[in-house]
Amino acid sequence: MTLLFEINHPGHIHLFRNLAGELEIKGIRSDFLIKSEPVIEHLASFYSLRYTKMGSKGKGLFLKYFYQLFFLIKTIRIVRNIKPELGLGVSMNLPLVSKFTKMKAIGLDDDDMTVTPVFARFANKASNILTPSSLEYEKRGGDHIVYNGFHELAYLHPNQFKPDPTVFDLLGLNTDAIYFIVRFNSFMAHHDIGQKGMSYEQKKELVRKLEKKGRVFISTESQIAPEFISYRIPDRPEVMHSILAFAKLYVGESQTMTSEAAVLGTPALKCNTFAGRLSVPNELEKKYGLCYSFLPEDFKKMLSKIDELLAMPDLKAEWQKRRQKMLSEKIDVTAFLVWFVENYPESVRIMKTNPDFQYNFK
């Protein structure tokens, strides 16, 4: 069997790399199609993935959809050449490719359809669409399969990841040092059109507040503002999850990094106009108390919550308890996907008739 993975975001590398590695050991080949972005290319090379660069996604809604047509045509050619049996991705491209080739497509999506309606319309055309149980309420058709996990648990479940304490040396800190991770987004993705995060003044106020309590490290999608250059985090994306795991707090604008910090047991605060609108972070917040979301107009409330959290003497220990509760109810997503892909399409029938089978993968 040959698999084809599509990578549109750095998080997708992490989502699929352990799955591909496990299946390679079993003799199942994996090829990756990656967007031409520096972080994606770095991670693909770091993890020794077999990949083809597909070009840039483009900026602006018109260019994004123009390039999408180009990606579709190019992917069809690649699929007809290498003949993979299955294509996997958080993708609106692979489901369409499967209509013109013999390849079946398995889609993974963790965004609400109300937030990404165009993406969902095409992603739901996959042979099967898999979503976290947070999205069980959605009507995605008869090929919809729900699993009790999060994308982030494919690579941050304790079966898959152990934080590396040598990141303290990379950061120039003692192992007992207090530090914070701050993430600023560019809001350039197709689903980010019309959305925003913190203002420049709010960002400055946040950094000033945090640096009174510890070191501040800033990660950003776009070019960093001159005022924040001294806070820039070392350019080592492959160890970012270890850095997140040992941080006192994460504060930022990123959906993915908020969820990553939360499942690692690092208190996470998000400030953007998606606050309260996404089912996955809502579950992490409302059910497990691992993160908080704020609209930009509620920035002062977020600062008050930061004060409240930092006043807790056992903050990280408390968050680890909350994390353990979450882990006790969720599955090891990579272990589940290895079984699902290796036994496809029989695995579809099993999940339809006995969805509790997934709890064999804890």
Backbone dihedral angles phi then psi of residue 128, each to the nearest 5 degrees: -145, 140
Tell whether the model's pLDDT for residue 190 goes beyond 60.
no
User: Cα(45)–Cα(180) distance, rounded to whole angstroms?
Assistant: 28
At 160-180, the pLDDT tens digits run: 999 999 999 999 999 999 999
Phi, psi at residue 215, to the nearest 5°?
A: -75, 145
CA atoms of 90 and 93, how far apart (whole Å): 9
* pTM of this structure: 0.93
Rounded Cα gap, residues 241 and 164, in angstroms? 9
CATH number for 167-328: choose from 3.30.1200.10, 3.40.50.2000, 3.40.50.720, 3.40.1390.10.
3.40.50.2000
Q: Do the beta carbons of residue 108 and residue 15 sit within 8 Å?
A: yes
Domain boundaries, the chain: 2-157+331-360, 167-328
In this model, does residue 145 exceed pLDDT 60?
yes
Domain range 2-157+331-360, CATH architecture? 3-Layer(aba) Sandwich (3.40)
The domains spanning 2-157+331-360 and 167-328 adopt the same CATH topology: yes
Task: Specify whether the CB–CB gap between 98 and 105 falls below 8 A.
Answer: yes
pLDDT per residue over 77-104, tens digit each?
A: 999 999 999 999 999 999 999 999 999 9
Contact 211, 248 (CB under 8 A): no
**Average of per-residue pLDDT across 114-135:** 95
Please state, in angstroms and rounded to a whole number, the distance separating the CA atoms of residues 311 and 128.
Answer: 47
Query: In this structure, what DSSP letter does residue 232 have?
Result: B
CA distance 119 to 104: 18
Q: Tokens 């197709």 — which residue?
A: 190
